[in-house]
Structure 1
């Protein structure tokens, strides 16, 4: 009987152990559709199921052919009879970059030393309504890319505008993909912080048009170059079914309770034909400047003593890529020493045209007396509007110098002004020793021994500082953590200025950036990929209090809504958002 009582618990323990050892994991992938048009979202769900509680999971996959948003994470536990099952779902939103047939997967997952993988999924992406057709009313919202020149010379400015056309009100508009400009030198002219629309008729249909980005492109080589696409994601109202109920009709136009769906809007790629600069008629002085420029040259003073400097100011200003304006060739007369110029540059944008000014300051030193002549300075550029080279020429410069360098005592490379004695530059010899007074021995001074004791402390402080600097240079995560609070404080200070100025969208954008970049710096993450859901998941994994995460969600949601809201809220809302941002940052600083 005793043996039976001992055997039964032993058998139950063995069965339980074998059941735990046989814990299984299922890893599956599914999509809500296998055929979609361009700009239509595809939801990819990765499901991990186990009879043991799941920790942090990071699947491995390649989705290079898609724009990816997410993941949104959900976890649930199910109990059937005496069996407990844990399920973790990761949901990604995919937007195809171009039409075609693509295979995603197999997705791979490694847990407890075992490797799992899903079956591959084939997706077919068909071409949707193009932006060119959208102006005829077939599409109520789209992104259109336009260039002011389809053909340009190397170095000529091409202005490309990306605009959002819409006849239905979008919400939560955000950049999803920024364009690339291979073969161009670029200068941003405008980047939207909020939707500021105007009316425009396209194909006989009126649209609200909100500029998204405007960029000046300067081709660097001849040939046909592609201007990359810009993509934005947003929420648009969901089209109601014909059998909609009373509540559907009531909430249809409401921006909060009406149904909406996410879409990706992508512009079409542009092709720019770039012509080489003509070889015929190219002046010897041409160094690559393309545009329209003016030249002014001035020398001051023109009457000096030999050995004294003369400043030659050469100013080139106008429209075009100022980086291509190089120092002009100055042919100094015999007996004049010429030094390399100091360069000052100022950029400006006038009516969407990039330009500016470049000032070159040369130093000329006459080494002998007489009249010294400097030939006219010449500056050559290519005018793309006239398709020809232009050469600007200054007047000749005459400098009158008196005496000679030897007479002025500059045999050591110094002018008269350099050797003037001012104040106490010269300590004269004191012939009366009694005036000097009786000195004391240095080692008997209190300050002498204080300094001796401070030297070791300063040495150790220097070692600590050097170690800190090396770590800042070699450890990116450490450097970002150290600067996170300061960067957030500076952004909130800028937000205070915007709050006082009453610029609502910029204020909320600055507050949102301060909080997101603080989280990204503290956790060494990329700020560009942080969404509200990602922040919440990462902070929850770091054991941050639920109240702090809820406050972060509330703040970011409030900021996103206010940035694109058609009307601003009261000042109390902005002040409350500012206080909440400071509280959220203070709370996160204690836990991450």
Structure 2
């Protein structure tokens, strides 16, 4: 019996050992299957138009270091460019794993249906494949044409003449000769060849434009061009310039610093692990200055009422009511619309106001940018009070301007204006009504004993009612102060701009806060800050380099810390406009701009003691 138990025990041990070995073998097989290298390929979109770019991502996981780059076959209807690779490292449950993603750009050249793949990778004598991908290219190019209204893009310089092969910057203008206050379009362009990678774009300095009024034409534009058979990504920022003086004016050089991956010659360590090294190196790019010859407006054909307006405009006018009563005010609004330097539109030629008293109620400007042109309208309002009844006709209101496109003076008019004036409303007093209601005696008798009826608790007689007599005096003093302030501001336009700078900037910030995080909102935020500083410093801030602007602020009495905050805000906006900054902080930047401007206002006012605002 004991011998049988020993035999059964030995059999049980053998079975247990066999089961453990079998489980180990199965575990190794399963683990080996689980650890097999994996290759996955995907595109950001499967249907595009001719000229569009498809981004292909090939992810490799579990491959050895001897595995080469993926073999991506080139479809006949595409150009393909290597955009680099990235490595992702993870540590899960005590196990280190890594995956590498190779990125490619495929440029569609012809319409049709295509199959991409299979994409393969060779490792340790085996070939691994990713599933093929189906692509569809439809007719109709979405690539912007390089030509623009008013000028043609010149061929960029050969890459051998630039600071970096396949990476360069240039400045373009749509005309080298212009009339005084005629629009000139300035463009700063950064060219990046498709196979060039950028880590960061920083230290952008716009070209200096002394002698010009400058208007930002909107957010950065991105598009592609082909140069000598090579595909380039182009980033463009443009401005509208309006010459403010006659003669040879220079547009200074612009600059930007691009950070490209550092290709280390050393092998091993981090360079091998990450493929291209950890570090980047700066590539500074600078554009050449350009000159514009500004001509004076011609004397031939200049109208007698010309006041310096340049552009293409039309004019119309309307009353706020078709009829009015004698003595009651009505408003006449004159609107000038068109393309040009809208802010400098002069006051129209007012006709003779017979039968009307006239009060100037001010003007307002609205500016838009469309197709690289500054457009908008300027309104002039007059308050009129009729002094007689009947039909009052006004002669046409005219505006003379110089049209640079036609190179001649023109005059726009509104046509005759007419208003019907009714008699003033009759007063109800003394109307001679037949029904008379008796409300008391006609004779008021003299009352006696008034002194005995006075109550001491009133503090004696009329109390503080004498203060009522100070109200007219206060109104007169306030009116005199307001009139003096208005005269001071009218005599000094720069002082008037300072007085309204903070209010105007905060109003625009409130409107910006209603929009989401976009590159346009970032550009508008820069516009708000630069307009505010231009009004206060009485200089065109857009024409200053960032370093010069910071020195100007410090020289105007702004602390170094506050000036640095302003520069940081403007640098952030530049990075967003060039597509390398983050948009998520746009709302926070807009909210932070309000206290920043208020702090600037406080310090600038302190440094301007004696200036009445």
For normalisation by structure 2, the TM-score amounts to: 0.46
Structure label with greater radius of gyration: 2
